[in-house]
Amino acid sequence: MTTPGLELALTASPLLPLPPPADELLRELGAPPRLGAHLRAVHDVAWTLTDRLGRLRPDLDFDTTAILFGAATHDIGKIIHLDELARPGHHHEAAGRDLLLRYGVPNDLARFAATHGSWTAPECGLDDLLVSVADQVWKGVRIGPLENRVASFLGDASLLLDDILRELAAGADERLAFQSSFPV
């Protein structure tokens, strides 16, 4: 059930479109337009982040397709916990993973809904951390300990991570304006 607002959130702006399975799921679930806009912004940042890191370190072991799907669905649990669209909360994380699993999304992709907010957990790998970074830097937020965990995977390319994230954070105002133009 796609509303006109959700349609605009998923198609307007120069942000990259979501992966088709994520786009279709948001439409089927009737996601709030603000959520659709947010997921597009985070996905767009994740795309640039993985593209730049992949060019710098082609030997780096991360799954771009999984990361992009994770970025595109990480907050899907906010469809159930609507109050967390406007206020902080963590109930949407497990609920999002469970929702994705109910819709047939494999656990290795559904996990990002649960892990994006718990990046300090020792079991979080590089893929999980990159989704978490994208979920912060899209709005211009930089978290040193999170970035340090990502840098630990990058070896000699870790110095370039700061440059990439600084560049991504510089576009936060436009992404925030895009998201804010849609109702909760």
> What CATH number is attached to the domain comprising 25?
1.10.3210
Give the span between the Cα atoms of 61 and 2, in whole angstroms: 36
Say how many C-beta atoms besides its own lie within 10 A of residue 181's C-beta.
15
pLDDT in tens, 140-182: 999 999 999 999 988 877 778 999 999 999 999 999 999 999 9
pLDDT at 13: 86
Closest by Cα among 101, 90, 57, 97 to 76: 97
In tens, the pLDDT along 45-97 reads: 999 999 999 998 888 889 999 999 999 999 999 999 999 988 888 999 999 99
Confidence of residue 183 (pLDDT cuts 50, 70, 90): confident
Instruction: Please state, as a whole number, how many other Cβ atoms lie within 10 Å of the Cβ of residue 105.
Output: 21
Rounded CA-CA distance 13/100 in Å is 26
Three-state secondary-structure class, residue 181: coil
CB of 151 within 8 A of CB of 140? no
Label residue 32 exposed, middle or buried (CB < 10 Å: 0-12, 13-18, 19+).
buried
Cα 131 to Cα 64: distance, rounded to the nearest angstrom: 10
* Tokens 């996601």 belong to residue: 31
> pLDDT at position 168, please?
97
pLDDT band at 127 (very low <50, low <70, confident <90, very high): very high
Q: Looking at residues 103-109, what average pLDDT do you find?
A: 96
Measure the CA angle with vertex 155, ends 149 and 161; round to 5°: 65
Total-model pTM: 0.96
Could you give the CA distance from residue 111 to residue 98 in angstroms, rounded to a whole number? 9
> Tell me, what's the pLDDT at 16?
96
Distance in angstroms (rounded) separating the CA atoms of residues 47 and 66: 11
Q: Is the pLDDT of residue 134 over 90?
A: yes
Q: Which residues contact 31 (CB under 8 A, 6 or more apart)?
A: 6, 39, 76, 79
Q: What separation, in Å, do the N-terminal and C-terminal C-alpha atoms of the chain show?
A: 16
Number of structural domains, the chain?
1
Q: Which domain holds residue 20?
A: 4-180
